[in-house]
Amino acid sequence: MPHDKSRHNVVLTIAGLDPSGGAGIIADIKTFVAFGCAPAAAITSLTFQNSGGVFGALHQTANSVRGQVLPIIEELHVASMKTGMLPTRAIVSEVARLIREMNLPSPVVDPVLRSSSGYELVDEDTIEVLLSELMSLARVITPNVPEAERLTGLSIKGESEMREAARELREMGARAVLVKGGHLSGARASCPQASEPEKAGRMPALPVEAIDVLDDEGRVSLFRGEWIDAPPMRGTGCVLSAAIAACLGRGIDLEEAVGTAKNFVSNAIRKSR
């Protein structure tokens, strides 16, 4: 008889597989376990990558993704879910269909558009379907600044533009938007703590804090944290969205889930130094 996991906080990830474990489904699963949740996963794409970059990908079909998800939800009660790399128009449409037809929880949607090394993971047609079919089903979408710029067409330089991008994405159908500011590079020059030489442009402008903006149905919350000087770390977006999903699966409200997830990621970055 199969082991009954129905009493556990099962969190489902539908995302790409990074065989090196730095990002994607493996990073998601490790995060779910760290939060005391039981992981389940469906693979959308087998990527070929390591810390040096992405060298290719073999995408699954929409039927393959559906075939992976159905046995999971037939046996287990999914408390929460997230999506990561959804590489094709057909897969995005299938995931949206599964959520609607199977009454799955509103997902945390991490709109993975490009790898940190610059590899394009989705095309424009796929982005269009993500915006039109999946975004309105999400509990929250979690774009970083480059992703928010690509989704909205806005140029984001600081907090005010982050707020504007979040508002625009909500007007496009999202219930809640978390714009992650970790990719902003000039925060220190506009920050009160910056020295006069820095403000005058005589020294490089380095961030002193990381700012994220959460717009939840028009209620805006700011999350300010220490800018951690550490080497680039792959998979932080995956881990953050997975941590948010895990917290939601444990019954935590969205604002607290985001704060808890940010602390979790910050601690991981500190340990990587």
Segment 165-177, tens digit of pLDDT:
999 999 999 999 9
C-alpha–C-alpha distance, residues 112 and 95, integer Å:
15
Conformation bin of residue 256: beta by default, left when phi > 0, alpha when psi is -120 to 50: alpha
Per-residue pLDDT tens digits for 112-130: 998 776 777 888 889 999 9
Tokens linked to 81 = 């879910």
Q: What would the DSSP string read from start to end of 89-135?
A: HHHHHHHHHHHHHTTPPPPEE----B-TT--B-S-HHHHHHIIIIIG
- CB of 258 within 8 A of CB of 264? no
How many CB atoms are closer than 10 A to CB 90? 17
Which residue stretches of the chain have pLDDT < 50? 1-3, 5, 186-204
pTM of the complete model? 0.88
What domains are there in the chain, each with its CATH number?
Answer: 10-272 (3.40.1190.20)
Q: How far apart are CA 139 and CA 104, in angstroms?
A: 11
Contact 232, 116 (CB under 8 A): yes
Residue 182 has a pLDDT of: 78
Neighbours of 189 (CB within 10 A): 18
